[in-house]
Homo-oligomer: A and B are copies of this chain.
Amino acid sequence: MLVAVLDFWFEFASTYSYPAAMRIGALAGANGVEIRWRPFLLGPIFKAQGWETSPFNVYPAKGRYMWRDLERLCADLGLPFRPGPGHFPQGSLLASRVALVGFEDGWGEEFSRAVYRAEFGEGKQIDDPAVITELIRALGHSPETVFARAQSASIKDRLRAQSAQAQQLGIFGAPSFITADGEIFWGNDRLEQALAWAKRIAV
């Protein structure tokens, strides 16, 4: 029997990645599926589609709906929901690089959840280095050391490569889940279906 695995492609600027990131750990555990967390940047993919910003800004009716839908989802899930008054989408470059350091060291998942909670549950700006500093410190790590590694060529290259890979895989939005046989499932709504697929093909 193979181990069931599922790649979880997420973007820190993505609103629907928030509930997915908060739900995936427990659901994967209950289903015996190993999750591989894959932070990536959607910006280059959106640009290739002709968007200079989030489609939720490009299409205001869709944007208004998304915020209300997310609010209802968070209420159903018991997740805090308080988007900040600042710009949307937030720059996710720093958080993504720090997350890659965290995944090397085993605290990437916890950090990723903390980023989402700060961003959409506490109205903080995750493109503010002071906010990320606070999150790293709260996990018991040294912000100075982590930031130095996050700015290294190896981490920068990895994030660039991972984002290019996402595009090659056919990813066009976040979150996306990809099974070992290459099935793409797009959106928080598809998490359960993706886990079931991952489980089924591993038998």
Contacts and interface: CB of A to CB of B under 8 A. Distances in A.
How many copies make up the complex? 2
B193 A72 contact: yes
A189 interface: yes
Interface residues of A, number: 21
B189 A61 contact: no
Interface in A162-176: 170-173
Nearest to A190: B69
Contacts of A170: 61, 64-65
Interface string A77-104: 0000000000000000000000000000
Given A49-B59, A59-B49, A69 B186 contact: yes
A114 interface: no
B61 A172 contact: yes
A49 B64 CA distance: 14
A188 to B, nearest CB: 10
A184 B183 CA distance: 30
Interface in A31-63: 49, 59, 61-62
Contacts of A183: 68, 72
B65 A184 contact: yes
A47 to B, nearest CB: 13
Contacts of A62: 172-173
Given A186-B65, A186-B69, A193-B72, A172 B59 contact: yes
18 contacts: A49-B59, A49-B61, A59-B172, A61-B170, A62-B172, A62-B173, A64-B170, A65-B172, A65-B184, A65-B186, A68-B183, A68-B184, A69-B185, A69-B186, A69-B190, A72-B183, A76-B193, A189-B189
